[in-house]
Amino acid sequence: MGLWYGGGIWSADKHGPAAPFVQSLGLGNALTGGGASISAGWKSAQWDVGARALAYRTSDGANQFSLDRGHVRFQSLGGWVYALEREPLVWGFGLNGGYVLGEAARPFPKFRLTTPMSPRSLFSVPLGSWKGELFFGRLENHRVLSENIQDPSYRSRFISRDGDPQRPFLSGLRAQAAFGDSVEFYFNWINLFGGVVNGVDQLEGYSLGDYLTAFTGGKDTLIENGADLSQSQPGLTGVKAKSASNSDVGMRIRFAFLEEFMDARDVRLYVSRGSKAVNTVSFGLLYHRPGYYIGKDLNADWRALVNISPSNIWGRNYRYTAPSPQVPNDAVGILMDWPRWKVGLEYLDTVNARHQFDNRDVEKGHRSFTHDQYKTGFYYEGDALGSALGGEGRYGTIYLQWDPVPEWRVLTWFRSGDRPFRDVLLDWLEDHPGKFPVRNRFVGLQAVVEHRGKAGRLLRLGASTERESAVLNEQGRSGMGFRWFMDLGWTWSKPH
């Protein structure tokens, strides 16, 4: 409680192909160079105000000054939180950051509303404790394609020809639940809309219905159902709205018997499924003939079991009784906690089939973390908003955290996987004449060392390297990427 202030110095740089940090908030990723920071704030029982400003010289030699972090938060007596902020926000369980929101990129400005976690019941039957969250923010001007984007040749040409929305809005909706101490559940939905293309505001002429449809991404569920939006749709009021959605659902379960077996403090297994959007239109059919459509889903699952194809149950992209993603991206992992060690294992698959929707060309299909209306996609200053590696890939991650003494912490990530070729072949060949596209296999190692000293001192040193077998999927073009950062800061408090 009371006044606090601080300052610090930092430096960061990167060389070669991408080797993004997971939790650096842009340091060593989009933010390179060196400079100093100054920060101050004040906190009471209900109010929390703070800001941090950076003055620095970029690695290109340009002098910059920016409000890097900041927040004005109010928490009501009932536990509701209202905030104007530019602070990190993580949605999800992944070792490389949440699927839709993580800590690889710098924070973006937004308004955020959070409800308290409250127990819910139906006819006196407990349904667990639930909370909700929403935000409304805006991304940057002069957007840039990520180094890890899966089809740079195609996207760069499209943007040069038709432009890409600058300063688009980003909205988010989240439901989170806890069932006792052992089971957690969430559903996340974020949505790009608006922006300015070649001087034209994409929200010009929008009605209230258009704004609401764009904010919630309502049209994206229709697209998942194969609706032709060039034709009028019954019950759809936001006919002009354009948006791009990204979503995921996840569950994490604590296993007491594994804790006892491994003599660990905490062991949790998690699974999540992400997608560009989900098909919910079938719920309307379920409402009118519930028995019939529940039966259709059960019959399809039964056929999968009879044919000894249980994977078809998990992989079905159309259901009447549950939201169903057309092209799901799945993650499964486990995190184990001992007094001085944390160990995590994860497998993540963000690869979509090269041809989708009746074998349409690759540029017409779903591409993870991007969209045909918003070509730059779900990135901020070139860094992934969600899972740190972005793009499309299949990879495993081993995470180790070591706390030898309270003042010191060492965090490491080891990753290995591959990225298939997902660019448009003719565009790619124009950029790589005489070359042949192949799968890009990669191995990466990242380490961050933290030291917390007296007087609020925090030192963070990080290094990340990644070796690629085929940079930009070009056969015979191997490469090594390297990034590093140093961040030293102090914080002093002055109580009431």
Of all residues in the chain, the percent with pLDDT exceeding 90 is 65
pLDDT for 394 beyond 90: yes
**Backbone φ/ψ region at 391: left (φ over 0), alpha (ψ -120 to 50), beta:** left
> What Cα–Cα distance (Å) separates residue 172 from each residue in 84, 98, 111, 202, 214?
14, 13, 10, 19, 12
> Which tens digits make up the pLDDT trace of 180-189?
999 999 999 9
In a domain, 423, yes or no: yes
Structure confidence at residue 355 (pLDDT): 64
pLDDT for 468 beyond 80: yes
pLDDT for 308 beyond 50: yes
- What average pLDDT does the chain have? 88
pLDDT classification of 364: cutoffs 50, 70, 90: low
The predicted model scores a pTM of 0.91
Structure confidence at residue 265 (pLDDT): 96
- Nearest to residue 248, comparing CAs of 404, 83, 388, 368? 368
pLDDT classification of 301: cutoffs 50, 70, 90: confident
In a domain, 317, yes or no: no
pLDDT for 298 beyond 90: no
By CB atoms closer than 10 A (0-12, 13-18, 19+), residue 495 is: exposed
> Which tens digits make up the pLDDT trace of 13-41?
999 999 999 999 998 899 999 999 999 99
In a domain, 289, yes or no: no
In a domain, 302, yes or no: no
The region of weakest confidence among 68-72, 143-147, 452-456 is 452-456
> Which tens digits make up the pLDDT trace of 159-218?
999 889 999 999 999 999 999 999 999 999 999 999 999 888 888 888 888 888 888 877
How many domains does the chain divide into?
Answer: 1
In a domain, 311, yes or no: no
pLDDT for 283 beyond 60: no
Rounded CA-CA distance 274/21 in Å is 21
Residue 253 domain boundaries: 2-229+239-280+323-494
Enter the tokens of residue 213: 């449809």
Rounded CA-CA distance 492/3 in Å is 9
In three-state secondary structure terms, 353 is coil
What average pLDDT score do residues 111-118 get? 96
CATH number (domain holding residue 465): 2.40.160.130
In a domain, 456, yes or no: yes
pLDDT classification of 288: cutoffs 50, 70, 90: low
**Backbone φ/ψ region at 470: left (φ over 0), alpha (ψ -120 to 50), beta:** beta
Residues 199/203/205/211 CA torsion (nearest 10 deg): 180
